[in-house]
Chains A and B, each alone.
Chain A
Amino acid sequence: MTYVVTDACIKCKYMDCVEVCPVDCFYEGENMLVIHPDECIDCSVCEPECPADAIKADTVSGLEQWLTLNAEYAKQWPNITAKGTPPADADAWDGVANKYPEQFSNKPGGQ
């Protein structure tokens, strides 16, 4: 069982979750974060921290594609342990639905 980062993170990437995660299980892409499902201890601390409401428990239905995406990119992207600067237009993307098809970047972050 794990928590999962979902569509709402894309292009918002506020990173508040990184500050509170006790086990450093977030990984950084160019415009979103993911959670490593084998490292998350299900403590639930990150979920209410996200200003974009992007973090969900994997018991929520319909998250299969996000579980897969989190697991895949957690292996490819660098670990992130401290909050950086969110994108300048983060607030403009907060609340925009279904960002994945047009906006998701598979490039690693933290460059």
Chain B
Amino acid sequence: MSTPVSPGTAGRASIRIGVAGVDEGIIRNLVHAFYAKVRQDPFIGPVFAAVIGDDWGPHLAKMCDFWSSVMLTSGRYKGNPMAVHARLEALQSAHFERWLVLFRQTASDLCPPDVAAAFVARADNIARSLQMGMAFRPRASAEPETERHGGQ
């Protein structure tokens, strides 16, 4: 019953809630700085631009809610990111990898190392999960170049 989850489980970081040093202000700074980088990025910038256009306000607010839910268990975000990503048929593993590179850079630029590590650990898990979910969806696999083994 009280057997703890073994800490060494395949590639999954041990993450606890209430990471010291995370608050709404840090989340906001990270989200805004990160997506400023994303918009400038020649590889994934256009992917976001195609969906979001020029009005980034709502998306930034949504992403602040998302990270608040994930890091602070605030429950503010409610949505279905799996379905949203699965609709983007051209998405490949390389897009997720680039996203993660930019996210890691931004987190380490703005946050103390332990806080950055907590954000990145969650981002890694979520990116892997989204890719796996997409790989199993018929619509996502209709694109022949779609990465089908991402995250395995």
Q: Chain A residues in contact with chain B, CB under 8 A?
A: 1-2, 8, 19-24, 38-45, 47-49, 53, 56-57, 59-60, 81, 95, 97
Cβ-defined contact, B82 with A22, below 8 A: no
Does B15 make an interface contact (CB < 8 A)?
A: yes
Contact among B6, B10, B16, B79 for A23, CB-based, below 8 A: B79
In the complex, the chain A residue whose C-beta lies closest to that of B151 is A1
Would A43 and B125 count as touching, CB distance under 8 A? Answer: yes
Q: Which of A1, A8, A49, A59 has most B Cβ within 10 Å?
A: A1
Contact assessment for B15 and A39 in the assembled complex, using a CB-CB cutoff below 8 Å: no
Residue among A19, A22, A23, A47 with most chain B CB within 10 A: A22
Q: Which residues of B contact A56 (CB under 8 A)?
A: 5
A-B contact count (CB 8 A): 78
The answer to whether A43 and B17 have CB atoms under 8 Å apart is: no
Partner of A53, one of B2, B122, B132: B2
Query: Most chain-A CB neighbours within 10 Å: which of B5, B6, B66, B151?
Result: B5
Residue from B11, B17, B129 in contact with A40 in the complex, judged by beta carbons closer than 8 Å: B129
**Are B80 and A60 in contact (CB-based, < 8 A)?**
no
Compute how far the CA of A40 lies from the CA of B11 in the bound complex, rounded to whole angstroms: 17
Contact surface of B with A, Cβ cutoff 8 Å:
1-2, 5-6, 9-12, 15-17, 66, 69-70, 73, 75, 77-82, 122, 125-126, 128-130, 132-133, 136, 151
Contact A48 to B78, CB < 8 A, known contacts A1-B129, A57-B5 = no
Residue ID in chain A nearest B136 by CB atoms: A38
Inter-chain contact B9/A45, CB cutoff 8 Å: no
Contact A19 B16 (CB under 8 A): no
Q: Which residue of chain A is the closest to B70 with respect to CB atoms?
A: A43
Q: How far is the CA of A41 from the CA of B134 in the complex (A)?
A: 11
Q: Report whether A57 and B1 are in contact in the complex, using a CB–CB cutoff of 8 Å.
A: no
Return the chain A residue nearest B81 by Cβ: A41
Check A59 against B10 for contact (C-beta < 8 Å).
yes
| Interchain residue pairs A-B with the least CB separation, the first 6 | A42-B129, A59-B9, A22-B69, A20-B73, A42-B125, A59-B10
Asked whether B17 lies within 8 Å of A41 as measured between CB atoms, the reply is no
Contact of A2 (CB < 8 Å), options: B6, B66, B129, B151: B129
Query: Is A45 a contact partner of B70 (Cβ separation < 8 A)?
Result: yes
If the complex has contacts A8-B1, A49-B73, are A41 and B9 also in contact, measured as CB distance less than 8 A?
Answer: no
Report yes or no: B70 in contact with A60, Cβ–Cβ below 8 A: no
Q: How far is the CB of B56 from chain A (nearest CB, A)?
A: 20
A42 to B82, CA, bound (A): 11
